[in-house]
Amino acid sequence: MFDKILIANRGEIACRVIKTARKMGVRTVAVFSEADRDALHVLQADEAVCIGPPPSSDSYLVIDRILQACQDTGAEAVHPGYGFLSENAEFASRLDEAGIVFIGPQAHAMKCMGDKITSKKLARDAGVNTIPGHIGVIESAEDAVTIARRAGYPVMLKASAGGGGKGMRIAHNDDECRDGFERARNEARSAFGDERLFLEKYIEDPRHIEIQVLGDKHGNVIHLGERECSLQRRHQKVIEEAPSPFLDQATRTAMGDQAVALARSVNYESAGTVEFIVDRDRNFYFLEMNTRLQVEHPVTEFVTGLDLVELMIRIAVGEPLPLSQADVQFNGWAIEARVYAEDPFRGFLPSVGRLVRYSPPPESDSVRVDTGVYEGGEVSIHYDPLIAKLITHGATRGRAITHMREALNEFHVRGVSHNISFLAALIEHTRFREGRLSTNMIAEEYADGFQSSDVIHDDPALLIVVAAAIHRKYMDRAAGISGQLPGYERTVDDHWVVVMNGDQSPVEIRPVSGGCDVTYGNDIFHVRSDWQFGRPLFQGTVNGNEICIQVERRNMLYRLFHWGSQVDIMVLTGRAAELLACMPIKTPQDTSRFLLSPMPGLLTQLRVEPGHDVQSGQDLAVIEAMKMENVLRAERDGKVSKVLAAVGETLAVDQPILEYE
């Protein structure tokens, strides 16, 4: 076994590898950029080495600096995690030349499968089903249009070296094909240093289902079942689960057999994932093979009881697989939700800043949290905005969903925007509950974007009575202030008015042992809790049913977060409620004369100048954030009067870029 390994990565996956290495008694070395000096993986590792400035192209992607860190620390092996250099064949070869073990597949397999064009040819030769299309490099936008017409729209343009949804565009006509070619090529060049694209037929209503494979240095190859990864937004996975609610046993067996056959064809050694597109009739086609550990690997670990990182390390040492295909057992259901620093109510724009509050749900046999951040840490503009992966397990899919719903209620994040409301809405969506998934589901169900109306609480009475109980606790404390004049002590009335979403609801709040009895409408709600002032989670029972609601007191407001829904509630005296109804409503500031930056990012292109007439839908600027290009388009016709930002400038959220006349 290795004495010391270096982890050539950052964030949650670096922390994940450290966790297993520590369990195995293996010492770890973290590498970090200057932006990650105080990151969690740096704090957890036994040693840490700075490898350069914040941009990944100057730090985490520089092979020479990783090699130097290995030599300086005496690391015998490198685990690459996912992303960065994890599928870089040159990196694996350079490590081998330096006598350092790469904890992953051999360079030959990475080279074959890391290139999507080559991998499709190999898959076809290995008898694996492949998608109809053009397996070859496309040289120009016009060539793409010609090929797309021949294949028939819709088509998918993909970066040959791509992954993670970058360098991918769907085109339904010639104009989208030309524009998609340029966008995909630019993203591919920026993210992977390889602008080659290919094209294939786009499968309607597709599911994304992948097979986890393992191979060792002794010729043994097995699979660990499938993962359903169909819930995606812009080709990036949001929620994954194992097993798939769609596959029957015959299809599951056939997909597993083909995945193993493909891995055998390149003598695969380590953990890898063979991804398939599955149509509505359960026909499946090879998509790509990821020669690394997947982000969603924890769901497979939950249902198999295996530690994939440990197996990768043992395979790299030279140990044979400890089990055969017949030994693989599956237990229950697991679901993973990716918690991102992004604003789902503003087009999922990335959010950066300090985590003022960060408290994930406690881990248990049914809940797991993989994270690379901590309270007080920072989400950087330079890297992927993943905060954590929340994974739940249950004996059935229904139980796993219930655990996920409860865990999302307990996931407390403040300081940056996050997508927990969106995740909660997806978990509760009828199509998800019924397992009627496709990679188009999010686009279809939220065609106009994700709105606050998509997370309306289905039991507003619960929020009303909890807010009332919290308010009564505050009022009783205030009434106990010292120094009151005898005979004139403050008393608290039992009758109040709860104001939520503009509606006023009279309530009666009577303190009892362990909580309050709240009369709302014709019902009495028994609210019981040991909640104390300042706690972010109100945990207890309402009429005997367990609840967990996030709560913040903001002057006169109580902000409650539950089941993905966030509401601001006031609890007022009857007279104060009457006066509130007479207050004028403040109109929001008019910003229609400005083009505002919707996210923090780098302004890379500005396509208009003062005096230019613009039309609705016209491209105005391009902002690069989190390695993605974001095109800003005019929402109305007008004329540019001023340019307020310069190309190369780092923009803040809502910073003006242009002003119209």
Known catalytic residues are 288
300-312 in b/e form (b: 16+ CB < 10 A) is bbbbbebbbbbbb
Cα–Cα distances in angstroms (integers) from residue 573 to residues 2, 163, 519, 627, in the given order: 68, 57, 15, 52
Strand order of the β-sheet with 628-633 is 628-633, 619-625, 601-606, 650-651
The DSSP symbol for 237 reads: E
CB burial class (10 A; 0-12, 13-18, 19+) of residue 197?
A: buried
Enter the DSSP assignment of 266.
Answer: T
| Radius of gyration of the chain, Cα coordinates, nearest whole angstrom | 27
Tokens 């800003």 locate to: 632
In contact, 202 and 154? CB cutoff 8 Å:
yes
Paired with 511 in beta bridges are: 516
For residue 380, the tally of other CB atoms under 10 A from its CB is 19
Residue 49 near residue 65, CB atoms below 8 Å: no
| SS3 label, residue 60 | coil
**Which residue type occupies 501?**
N
Q: Do 147 and 134 touch, CB atoms closer than 8 A? A: yes
Q: What is the 3-state secondary structure (H, E, C) of 467-507?
A: HHHHHHHHHHHHHCCCCCCCCCCCCCCCEEEEEECCEEEEE
Whether 357 contacts 26, CB under 8 Å? no
Task: Please say whether the beta carbons of 536 and 558 come within 8 A.
Answer: no
State which amino acid sits at residue 25: G
**Residues pairing with 199 in the sheet:** 134, 157
